[in-house]
Amino acid sequence: MSYYKGIQCIKCGYVGREDEAFDACPVCGTQGNNVNFTTTYDFGQDLEKVRQEFLNAKGKGLWKHREFLPIAPETEPVSLGEGETPLLHCGRLGKSMGLHNLYIKNESVNPTWSYKDRLCSVAVTRAVQEERPVVTVSSTGNHGAATAAYSAAAGKPCVIFTLPQVPATMKTLMQSFGAYVMVTPKPIDRWTIMKKCVKEKSWYPLSGYIAPPIGSNCFGIDGYKTIAFELYEQLGDLPEFIAVPSAYSDGLYGVWKGVKDLQTIGLSGKKTKMIASEVFGSLKETLKEQAEGPVTVPSEWSISFSIAGPQGTYQGYAALKESEGYAETSSDEETIAMQLRLAKEEGIFAEAASVTSLVAIEKLAKEGKIAPDDKVVAVITSTGLKDPATTAEHLPPVPTIEPNYEELAKALKESYGYELK
């Protein structure tokens, strides 16, 4: 079964029809605000029954709690074994930040090595359920790779629109799954053509195609709820803070929805706060100004290209306002330093955008907004292997040596600063 009920606007509560799901709310639109729809669920009166079902669920991975996903009970999930990722206590890194309970939710071990697999598993399953002819997405990488893989698993053609400057590794990954990958010279053009295909050819969109952006497919976003469910199961309750790298905030809002589900059915009373880590700080500025909607800030190309947008979304703002959370920025310099620190101190090589969550946590801890004993989870969204060339620029060239101790000791010292004892 599924508790899924319908969709409504995140801001004004307008109850939409499913065929309106990928366009911004028409009511907020008349006031000049672009706002995404979100799914709603009806858990009924007997919440004890819902709690028991949750606690006694037997499945594995993302589909373990499928009654909390917007998929009809008779629909077979399109799954590659996503979810159920490790939660790791970061003793060394946490200590250096003055935090005793710093954890990493390592989403880089998902089937296409990013947390986008959660969104795509649910959204491609919806595409199958609705018998759509083609799956499409606009993406700078991870979202495209995941869409391509799940479309392949579903046997659906997949057309991806991307940008010229996206790393070659990402484009190869997308094409390798059989997706038809296109570049449009102007960024805005990718949304124009995608929208046309959705409206006129009934293609199924896994990302948004609206400017200013609203976020992705609202059904797929519910896939991220399962991160909150897993954290609850892995920690025995929700943590005090969950930090998620954010551009259009699909992940941030999806995880927050999972937190709200657990609060609504009475499994957790924890006041979990969401943290958005950004590159240029649209949501940080929006919170500061208490603006009506997400403000635009100056932006440029960043090594955290998957989250390097000039403007956040209303759904991201909503997650921060509702949870009384924070947004914090990470410059490329801070990001690369954290990427190498995480790899060296904890053994996890994460994508640049992923570690912005740790930079944000460290800054908030320094400001006293996170207390030393608070449980804090950084969602590591993807692997560093998606863009190794950027990291390599910050590492020494590998020295070639003759096989003797003198040369070894010299090279260790000169290249790595390591003294042989």
Contacts to Zn ion by CB under 5 A: 9, 11-12, 14, 25, 27-28, 35
Classify burial at 367, counting beta carbons within 10 Å of its beta carbon; exposed 0-12, middle 13-18, buried 19 or more.
Answer: exposed
CB 273 within 8 A of CB 326: yes
Query: Considering the complex, what minimum distance in angstroms separates the CB of residue 169 from Zn ion?
Result: 39
Q: Which is nearer to Zn ion, 34 or 357 (CB)?
A: 34
Strand partners, 350: 383
Q: Which is nearer to Zn ion, 35 or 348 (CB)?
A: 35
Query: Considering the complex, what minimum distance in angstroms separates the CB of residue 38 from Zn ion?
Result: 11
**Token pair belonging to 115:** 């947390």
CB neighbours (10 Å) of residue 218? 27
Query: Considering the complex, what minimum distance in angstroms separates the CB of residue 163 from Zn ion?
Result: 30
Name 266's Cβ contacts closer than 8 Å, sequence gap at least 6. Answer: 47, 51
- Rounded-to-integer distance, Cα 281 and Cα 37, Å: 23
Q: Is 168 helix (H, G, I), strand (E, B) or coil?
A: helix
CB 108 within 8 A of CB 350: yes
Strand partners, 106: 380
Query: Considering the complex, what minimum distance in angstroms separates the CB of residue 11 from Zn ion?
Result: 5
Query: Considering the complex, what minimum distance in angstroms separates the CB of residue 214 from Zn ion?
Result: 11
Measured at the CA of 222, the angle between CA 216 and CA 228, to 5 degrees, comes to: 125
Classify burial at 187, counting beta carbons within 10 Å of its beta carbon; exposed 0-12, middle 13-18, buried 19 or more.
Answer: middle
Q: Which is nearer to Zn ion, 292 or 367 (CB)?
A: 292
**Token pair belonging to 87:** 């939660």
Q: Which is nearer to Zn ion, 28 or 350 (CB)?
A: 28
Quick one: DSSP state of residue 45?
A: S
Q: Which is nearer to Zn ion, 292 or 406 (CB)?
A: 292
Q: Which is nearer to Zn ion, 14 or 180 (CB)?
A: 14
Query: Considering the complex, what minimum distance in angstroms separates the CB of residue 17 from Zn ion?
Result: 14
**Pairing verdict, β 4-9 and 15-16:** antiparallel
Query: Considering the complex, what minimum distance in angstroms separates the CB of residue 16 from Zn ion?
Result: 9
| Angle, in degrees to the nearest 10, between helices 250-264 and 314-323 | 40
Query: Considering the complex, what minimum distance in angstroms separates the CB of residue 15 from Zn ion?
Result: 10
Q: Which is nearer to Zn ion, 11 or 105 (CB)?
A: 11
- Rounded-to-integer distance, Cα 253 and Cα 316, Å: 6
